[in-house]
Structure 1
């Protein structure tokens, strides 16, 4: 797993970290997932959750209120309560609070059974997990999925974020998404932020949470150094860098 920080621009702090699957030679998530067969999906999904929680329990600074964001594949979840068993057991074994775990699913994986997805989310929320839709605006369902299911958090896809400060169409779409989310009581996160101009525009539109290379690139099995904003000035926070013990 690699970890990428999620930055809270209002409180000027790291809000949490997303766990991103990587190959042993550093291969990206797409390369890894392309090698997973349908028959392997369930086991792979479970192993990723366990690995992410184990690493986070060792890397996250003690006493800090941080979220661990884990991606899951809805089509790999057969029976929600049974699929959560390993997650709950791992969290208990590692002493990692379940209230600090966020599960996000991507629009890029088409969900054929929305009733099944609703049952998954209901079960996750029953255990106190935060829920999120990832890659919003660039996947299969778009607003139709949002009508069916209102998550705690909505992650705007980087294709909408890229160059948003210079694109009338992107500005209009992002502003619309922020308005809809506010009406539904959903927190918005902008992912894939790579420039100061993108950040400033999105922050001015009321977006609080951010993720992207402008803040930090993912780091393999460690928490990367983070560039944050304070009093309109950039500064680095090397104290946040933590490496897994050998």
Structure 2
């Protein structure tokens, strides 16, 4: 199993490897794809999001379907360590965004040990770590999820709420914790340029995010019309096939030409309407 191999010569981590799921190893070989998040105002890559893939490049949905509840902790830890190790091998020199499963983090200070040890082992700066809490998955204990986010923020990590608007916590969570980044669910972004209801919601969320100190990020951008409308309401962070598709084991370069005024473009037809994760 990946974690056992990675920390084979580090006896101090053996206790963490046996934590919680002694009888629930996760034998599936995982891989990581990466997709850039760009800051159009600064014309730079803000972060690369690590996206889990199966041994043959299967998508995140397929991978999650293989994970049993008793394997969730080991799966979450494997994804973190693999993302950090792969990013370091590829020479990533900006933030690394990692999705985490709050239900798999029983105690933040203890469960972060493998993450920090992996970063130290491969020489990846921990201040570049960004953790995303997905809003589309039901959180069994919202208070616990809040505690995890607060702990990560205190440690100096960049924090994000992913799929905002999809889900289960929404505005109630924002009243108690304001992340550095608020990622709009791609269903809100899709065709926002032509749907007044979405425009009202997205415009309101963008304004709200700015007022509480969070940066709104538009996820799943696929057309120039969507991009232009979103830029018009002040959004500066973007992720989606229009900018760059995820690549397995590589750091794809953004297509900066789509941000030039007067250019036209959209994601290739075969890429549209597929989730980036």
TM-score (normalizing by structure 1): 0.90
Distance 1:30 1:192 in 2: 16
Partner of residue 118, structure 1:
146
Give 1:231 deviation, angstroms.
4.4
SS across alignment from 1:105: strand
Q: Stretches of 4+ moved more than 2 A in 1? A: 229-234
CA contact (8 A) 2:135 2:163 kept: yes
For the pair 1:9 / 2:37, whether they are aligned, the reply is no
For the pair 1:81 / 2:109, whether they are aligned, the reply is yes
Partner of residue 36, structure 1:
67
**Aligned with 1:232 (options 241, 261, 270):** 261
Q: Which runs of 5+ in 1 are unaligned?
A: 235-246
Give 1:113 deviation, angstroms.
1.8
SS across alignment from 2:54: coil
Distance 2:123 2:109 in 1: 20
Distance 1:54 1:222 in 2: 13
Partner of residue 176, structure 2:
148
**Alignment map for 1:51-66 (pairs within 5 Å):** 51-61=82-92, 64=93, 66=94
CA contact (8 A) 1:195 1:214 kept: yes
Partner of residue 183, structure 1:
211
Give deviations 1:73-129, integer Å, cap 9, x for gaps: 000100111100000111111111111010001111212322212221122122211
Partner of residue 24, structure 2:
none
Greater Rg over alpha carbons, structure: 2
Give 1:151 deviation, angstroms.
0.9
CA-atom RMSD in angstroms: 1.5
Give 1:141 deviation, angstroms.
1.7
CA contact (8 A) 1:13 1:228 kept: no
**Aligned with 2:166 (options 138, 142, 149):** 138
Partner of residue 239, structure 1:
none
> Are residues 93 and 206 of structure 1, via their aligned partners in 2, closer, same or farther at CA, if it must alter by over 3 Å?
same
**Aligned with 2:194 (options 163, 166, 190):** 166
**Aligned with 2:53 (options 5, 22, 42):** 22
For structure 1, which segment, 108-117 or 149-158, has the greater mean C-alpha deviation from structure 2 after superposition?
108-117
Distance 1:233 1:82 in 2: 51
**Aligned with 1:100 (options 93, 113, 128):** 128
Give deviations 1:113-161, integer Å, cap 9, x for gaps: 2221222112212221111000000111221222232111100000000
- Considering Cα pairs closer than 8 Å and 6+ residues apart, tell me whether 1 or 2 has the greater RCO: 1
